[in-house]
Amino acid sequence: MRFSIFPKETNFFDMFDKLAAVAIEASNYFYEVTSKGIYTEEVVSKMQDIEHRGDQITHAIIDSLNKTFITPFDREDIHALANELDSIIDMLNTMVNRMRVYRITGVNNDLVEFAEVLKKSTAAVELAVKALRDTKNLMSAREHCIEINRLENVGDRMRDNILGKLFDNVTDPIYLIKWKEIIVDAETTLDICEDVANVIESILVKWA
């Protein structure tokens, strides 16, 4: 059963909103840098700064969880939701760093298209997270979760199509290995967005 009275000193909803906002910032920045095709040390450093802010909020959530007796939903779900949201940011940081390590230059239209889908998915994630605090409109959270699932399926098809084109047209094994890993990472990030949706749907089922 969900508690209706929460400790005043801890507002998990506010912290989750902040963490989801950092995920949005990371996704928007990833789209920006892929659209320019420039992966400098400055770009990597800025994404790392975003990732560190996500880590700080995640640690604050876990620390508060350990100190709070009454929570708005199951402790396991709070822990899982924090970790999955943080994992979205971590993967976006990993991809930008990988592009720098692999000495990628120039715009890759397939990756830009993937980045656009990631923007849409993280936007839906943020809306689903925000909807959790509105117990009178939980259907809204479900609808956003459905959209996240739809976008993950879009990502699956995009990954398969892009990898198919690579294997058909690319003969340079190094180029093939680099871009295979990058595209798989992009789709994995959509998988993590879906993991967030799954946690939220689990919370909604328990509240039903």
Answer whether residue 29 is part of any domain: yes
pLDDT of residue 59: 97
Domain count, the chain: 1
With beta carbons less than 8 A apart as the criterion, state whether 65 and 78 touch.
yes
CATH number for the domain that contains residue 162: 1.20.58.220
Q: Residue 123 belongs to what domain range?
A: 12-207
Answer whether residue 2 is part of any domain: no
Long-range pairs of 75-80 with CB within 8 A, sequence gap ≥ 24: 77/199, 77/202, 77/203, 77/206, 78/12, 80/199
As given in the structure block, the two tokens for residue 197 are 């949706």
The rounded distance, in Å, linking the Cα atoms of 2 and 28 is 34
Eight-state DSSP code of residue 4: S
The rounded distance, in Å, linking the Cα atoms of 7 and 9 is 6
Answer whether residue 4 is part of any domain: no
The rounded distance, in Å, linking the Cα atoms of 185 and 194 is 14
Task: Give pLDDT tens digits along the chain (208 positions).
Answer: 444 434 444 599 999 999 999 999 999 999 999 999 999 999 999 999 999 999 999 999 999 998 888 888 899 999 999 999 999 999 999 999 999 999 999 999 999 999 999 999 999 999 999 999 887 778 999 999 999 999 999 999 999 999 999 999 999 999 999 999 999 999 999 999 999 999 999 999 988 7
With beta carbons less than 8 A apart as the criterion, state whether 11 and 70 touch.
no
Neighbours of 129 (CB within 10 A): 24
Answer whether residue 89 is part of any domain: yes
DSSP H helices, the chain, are: 12-36, 41-67, 75-101, 109-131, 138-169, 173-207
φ/ψ region of 200 (left if φ > 0, alpha if ψ in -120 to 50, else beta) reads alpha
Answer whether residue 126 is part of any domain: yes
The rounded distance, in Å, linking the Cα atoms of 96 and 200 is 28
pLDDT of residue 70: 85
With beta carbons less than 8 A apart as the criterion, state whether 182 and 111 touch.
yes
